[in-house]
């Protein structure tokens, strides 16, 4: 138990920072052509991905041929922290780089790796993740989108919803039901589907704030023909891969989540003195105390993250990730709520906020009140907070599962 990293980690950090200073896209470059959806990679983003890939800084923990440098987990942690601190996105296509590419590399064929994963890694393509459905939001086993084998193709029919980035992505990682006759979680497979395939309709779903920049979509599949060799891994083995994919997503998501919280706290601390000064005396201590409460949460999130990381590095498991997902998403929400309350009626005024692009899922846009609303994306998606609590209760605390309904 100690507060400092050892010298080799610090040397790694120094090398990264030096490289970043020379190669990163400037804030002006990014603002001039913002990413308007998590499936959208503007020109600068594509170049930046390629630059990182070539230098082995895209996925440092992977070998050089996959855009990495065989970094240790601790080095990867430092990498993610420093990138977040520098205010430069690792990617604008978070699910492509974070889930789809690793899943294809883990489970896909050589051709799939070459044609899809590597194109994501080189900044040539973006991907979206087709999991949620209208009647299967948090309940993947209930999904209904069907893929029926027909010669050398699958024919896909059905509907996905909440598909981030589908309005811009080049392809979709689609979870489909390929065997309707077995128990619900057993007949699921994953297909790679090109988004320009005939029969796909994408309907953007404007959000509660900033409806002019939709990122979520409904995706309709109507007799979409998908080559049979676009099946990822084994037929009907999608459930196990989903757990693998989610683990990819959740493994170190806390790093950017924690960094997002820190940045939000830094903004709040900037604003706080003037706002507090404007309050009647007896309200000041209350406002300060609310800020202090979230400040403690913010710091606790970082400490918890480091501890979860230490456990993960020693072979720990998913429940720690449930705790981090729950705590960071609720803390981010609380920071926005406290900051909006501090603004009082000024919080209601939203005209002044600019939109600087979907740079990372943990960076809600706009005013504090808008950020508060947007923050629910993180307490709802990828397993609601309610589901995280159930996971913690059952898998960490060992409480009995609910009896099956009669």
Site for another protein in 383-402 (CB under 8 A): 384-386, 388-390, 392-394, 396-402
Dist. CA 126–CA 40, nearest whole Å: 7
* Smallest distance from a second copy to CB 274, Å: 19
Distance, CA of 62 to chain centre: 19
Does residue 399 interact with a second copy by CB under 8 A?
no
* Smallest distance from another protein to CB 177, Å: 16
Q: Which of 32, 269, 317, 355 binds another protein (CB under 8 A)?
A: 269
Q: By the 8 A CB rule, do 170 and 125 touch?
A: yes
Dist. CA 160–CA 216, nearest whole Å: 11
**Bridge partners for 225 per DSSP:** 155
Phi, psi at residue 301, to the nearest 5°?
Answer: -60, -40
Site for another protein in 108-137 (CB under 8 A): 132, 135-137
Number of residues that bind a second copy (CB under 8 A): 11
* Smallest distance from a second copy to CB 136, Å: 19
Site for a second copy in 235-294 (CB under 8 A): 282-286, 288-289
Structure tokens at 20: 């970043």
Nearer to another protein, 202 or 377 (CB): 377
Residue 219 binds: one of a second copy, another protein, none (C-beta under 5 to 8 A by kind): none
Distance, CA of 9 to chain centre: 26
Residue 303 binds: one of another protein, a second copy, none (C-beta under 5 to 8 A by kind): another protein
* Smallest distance from a second copy to CB 141, Å: 17
Site for another protein in 271-310 (CB under 8 A): 272-273, 276-289, 291-293, 295-297, 299-300, 303-304, 306-307, 310
Q: What 3-state DSSP class applies to 89?
A: coil
Residue 350 binds: one of another protein, a second copy, none (C-beta under 5 to 8 A by kind): another protein
Site for a second copy in 111-140 (CB under 8 A): none
Q: By the 8 A CB rule, do 123 and 117 touch?
A: no
* Smallest distance from a second copy to CB 282, Å: 5
Closest CA to 73 of 64, 81, 354: 81
Q: CA separation (Å) from 381 to 19, 172, 253, 274, 335?
A: 34, 18, 13, 35, 19
Closest CA to 377 of 342, 325, 305: 325
Residue 114 binds: one of a second copy, another protein, none (C-beta under 5 to 8 A by kind): none
**Bridge partners for 154 per DSSP:** 149, 226
Residue 348 binds: one of a second copy, another protein, none (C-beta under 5 to 8 A by kind): another protein
Q: Which of 373, 382, 383, 406 binds another protein (CB under 8 A)?
A: 373
Site for a second copy in 63-92 (CB under 8 A): none
Q: What 3-state DSSP class applies to 159?
A: strand
Q: What is the sign, positive or negative, of the torsion defined by CA atoms of 91, 95, 99, 101?
A: negative
Closest CA to 91 of 104, 106, 101: 101
Dist. CA 291–CA 294, nearest whole Å: 5
Site for another protein in 145-204 (CB under 8 A): 161-162
Site for another protein in 76-95 (CB under 8 A): none
Residue 381 binds: one of a second copy, another protein, none (C-beta under 5 to 8 A by kind): another protein
Does residue 142 interact with a second copy by CB under 8 A?
no
Task: Give the CA dihedral 109, 250, 184, 126, nearest 10 degrees.
Answer: -50
* Cα separation of the two ends of the chain: 50
Q: What is the sign, positive or negative, of the torsion defined by CA atoms of 275, 279, 285, 290?
A: negative
Site for another protein in 332-351 (CB under 8 A): 333, 337, 341, 344-351
* Smallest distance from a second copy to CB 396, Å: 21
* Smallest distance from another protein to CB 191, Å: 23
Nearer to another protein, 234 or 283 (CB): 283
Does residue 404 interact with a second copy by CB under 8 A?
yes
Pairing of strands 153-160, 217-227: antiparallel
Residue 80 binds: one of a second copy, another protein, none (C-beta under 5 to 8 A by kind): none
Binding site residues, a second copy, CB under 8 A: 282-286, 288-289, 403-406
């Amino acid at each position: 138990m100690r507060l400092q990293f050892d010298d080799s980690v610090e040397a790694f950090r120094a090398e990264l920072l030096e490289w970043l200073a020379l190669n990163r896209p400037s804030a002006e470059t990014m603002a001039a052509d913002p990413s308007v959806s998590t499936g959208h990679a503007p020109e600068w983003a594509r170049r930046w991905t390629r630059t990182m890939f070539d230098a082995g800084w895209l996925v440092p923990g992977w070998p050089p041929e996959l855009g990495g440098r065989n970094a240790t987990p601790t080095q990867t942690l430092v990498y993610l922290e420093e990138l977040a601190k520098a205010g430069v996105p690792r990617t604008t296509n978070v699910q492509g780089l974070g889930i789809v590419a690793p899943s294809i590399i883990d489970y896909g064929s050589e051709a799939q790796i070459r044609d899809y994963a590597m194109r994501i890694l080189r900044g040539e393509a973006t991907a979206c993740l087709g999991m949620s459905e209208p009647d299967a939001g948090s309940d993947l086993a209930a999904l209904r989108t069907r893929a029926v084998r027909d010669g050398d193709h699958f024919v896909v029919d059905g509907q996905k919803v909440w598909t981030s980035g589908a309005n811009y992505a080049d392809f979709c990682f689609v979870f489909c039901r390929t065997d309707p006759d077995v128990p619900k979680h057993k007949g699921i497979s994953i297909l790679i589907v090109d988004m320009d395939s005939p029969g796909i309709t994408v309907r953007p779903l404007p959000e509660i704030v900033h409806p002019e920049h939709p990122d979520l979509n409904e995706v309709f599949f109507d007799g979409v023909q998908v080559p049979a060799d676009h099946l990822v891994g084994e037929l009907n083995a999608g459930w196990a891969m989903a757990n693998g994919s989610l683990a990819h997503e959740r493994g170190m998501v806390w790093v950017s989540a924690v960094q997002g919280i820190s940045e939000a706290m830094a903004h709040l601390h900037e604003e706080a003195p003037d706002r507090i000064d404007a309050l009647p005396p007896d309200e000041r201590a209350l406002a300060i105390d609310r800020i202090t409460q979230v400040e403690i949460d913010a710091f606790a999130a970082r400490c918890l993250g480091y501890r979860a990381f230490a456990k993960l590095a020693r072979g720990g498991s998913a429940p720690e990730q449930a705790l981090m997902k729950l705590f960071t998403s609720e803390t981010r929400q609380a920071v926005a709520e406290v900051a909006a309350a501090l603004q009082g009626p000024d919080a209601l005024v939203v005209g002044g906020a600019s939109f600087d692009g979907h740079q990372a899922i943990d960076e809600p846009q706009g005013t504090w009140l808008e950020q508060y609303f947007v923050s629910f994306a993180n307490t709802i998606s990828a397993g609601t907070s309610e589901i995280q609590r159930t996971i913690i209760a059952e898998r960490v605390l060992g409480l009995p599962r609910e009896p099956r309904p009669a």
